[in-house]
Amino acid sequence: MSELVIEGLRASVQGKVILDGVDLAVSSGQVHAIMGPNGSGKSTLSHVIAGRPGYEVLGGSVTIDGVELLGLPAWQRAEAGLFLAMQYPTEVPGVAVSDMLMASRSTNLDPDEIRQAMLAEAESIGFDEKFLERPLNVDLSGGEKKRNEALQLGVLKPKFAILDELDSGLDVDALRMVSHRIEMETSESSLGVLAITHYSRLFEQLHPDVVHVFARGKILESGGPSLADELEESGYERWVGADPEPTESSPTPDPFGDPFADPLV
């Protein structure tokens, strides 16, 4: 059994603190959902864990089975068992997904096995084979890019996958195929998943063990699967409402001290 552990993670981008103390532990086979308002830092969290340049880590740790990932280049994090399905998959002209998977050091499969695995994955999620030899994500629709991410996940078989809005751009049938495939991976290969989403429909096939509310740079509440439905229905007002930033020292914010406060509140 493996464990992805995030402790006290703080990070900034261009001098602005976006992650302000994230604590989270995902075990093999578990699915954790992260739901939160736009701009709250969910993608930043996924990028900082995966090692995308441009962020300053201010503190905390991210480990897989005790191995510290922070400070490692992205490819070594992948080698340690991490996979990120990006919210906006990158287009890489000149490099086909098959080239990328063949070059990956995150799999021990030989080229023939990779080809077989790619074809099987493409079939299981309805991804057209013709894209396997075309430049990675170039001229693909949003949904095709997301399927391409899922295909890579299926071939590379990481220990932990972060899915950043994997459902955005997928139509209902594609979403069912992709989320079913990933659910299979959690039960058959003990994949651990951190699924960032706005919509509980992702969880019709991919069943979350825990749902976290992420806002203001940290996890503010965690609960069972029903929390996802509640959030989709009633939004995040309870966590982000009129109160911009309650702290221990100032439980009631002073409306006159905040030039952007709503005067009617």
Binding site for ligand ADP (CB under 6 A): 13-14, 18, 36, 38-44, 54
**End-to-end CA separation in angstroms for the chain:** 50
> Distance of CA 213 to CAs 46, 121, 127, 169, Å?
15, 32, 32, 23
Residues 55 and 44: their CA atoms lie apart, in Å, by: 8
Q: Of these partners, ligand ADP, Mg ion, none, which one is at the site of residue 39 (CB under 5 to 8 Å by kind)?
A: ligand ADP
> Minimum CB separation from ligand ADP for residue 141, in Å?
21
| Residue 15 binding: pick among ligand ADP, Mg ion, none (C-beta 5-8 Å cut-off by kind) | none
Total residues contacting Mg ion by CB under 5 A comes to 3
- What's the min distance (Å) between Cβ of 196 and Mg ion? 7
Q: In this chain, which of 43, 137, 152, 197 binds Mg ion, going by CB under 5 A?
A: 43
Q: How far apart are CA 147 and CA 118, in angstroms?
A: 12
Q: How far is the CB of 53 from ligand ADP (least distance, A)?
A: 10
Looking at the Cβ atoms of 42 and 181, the one nearer to ligand ADP is 42
CB 33 within 8 A of CB 201: no
Partners of residue 165 on adjacent β-strands: none
Nearer residue to Mg ion within complex by CB, 43 or 106? 43
Region label for 139, one of left (φ > 0), alpha (ψ between -120 and 50) or beta (otherwise): left
Q: Taking CB under 5 A as the rule, does residue 137 contact Mg ion?
A: no
- Contact positions vs Mg ion (CB under 5 A): 42-43, 87
